[in-house]
Amino acid sequence: MPPPCRATAWPLHSDKLASMQTFRSKIDSWILVVAFLPMIVAVVLVAVNTHGDPRPMAMVLAVLVVIGLGIGSMFRNTYYQLREGELLIRSGFFRWRVVIASIESITPTHNPLSSPALSLDRLAIRYRKNGRDALILVSPLDKSGFIAALRAANPAIGI
């Protein structure tokens, strides 16, 4: 789990961790509403329509708790780490690895494509993977620090 700071190095427990930096994702408040409002509406609708029978409500609550834990994991665990020549990206249960030397450019964007970013204030990272062009969108809270850290590792990255 990353540290609660928005852009910081992990505690130095070994030489391997000394070069690791973690950047948290920026979170747009509207994304929280879009993620959790349907669950609240579902609970209200079931409560109104069950006519006092607790079994349907218990089933709906059990399903919503599982879904809520998954969504909560995504919000809690979306971050970007730079270590040992790689950009490690994590969002909930999903992970990506980008070799920093393969990054060609970083550009600001508001592209709404699905990505490991919890904000539309994003950076488009273009890189090469297996000889092909690839793109991933991220939304670090500290965009300038994130870009500076990547460019320190690969000065050839275009902005």
pLDDT in tens, 46-93: 877 877 678 888 888 888 888 888 888 888 899 999 999 999 999 988
What was the pLDDT predicted at 144?
95
Amino acid, single-letter form, for residue 154? N
Q: What is the DSSP letter of 139?
A: -
Pick left, alpha or beta for residue 10 (phi over 0 → left; psi -120 to 50 → alpha; otherwise beta).
beta
SS3 141: coil
Rounded Cα gap, residues 138 and 127, in angstroms: 13
Q: What is the DSSP letter of 101?
A: G
Quick check: 95 pLDDT over 50?
yes
Rounded Cα gap, residues 138 and 106, in angstroms: 10
Give the pTM: 0.75
High-pLDDT (> 70) share of the chain, %: 87
Q: What is the DSSP letter of 33?
A: H
Q: What is the DSSP letter of 26?
A: P
What was the pLDDT predicted at 99?
96
54 burial (CB, 10 Å; 0-12 / 13-18 / 19+) is exposed
| Average pLDDT over the chain, rounded to an integer | 85
Compute the C-alpha angle 64/33/135, nearest 5°.
95
Reported confidence tier of residue 118, pLDDT bands at 50, 70, 90: very high
Reported confidence tier of residue 119, pLDDT bands at 50, 70, 90: very high
Rounded Cα gap, residues 121 and 31, in angstroms: 12
What was the pLDDT predicted at 107?
97
Domain 20-159 is found in CATH 3.40.50.300: no
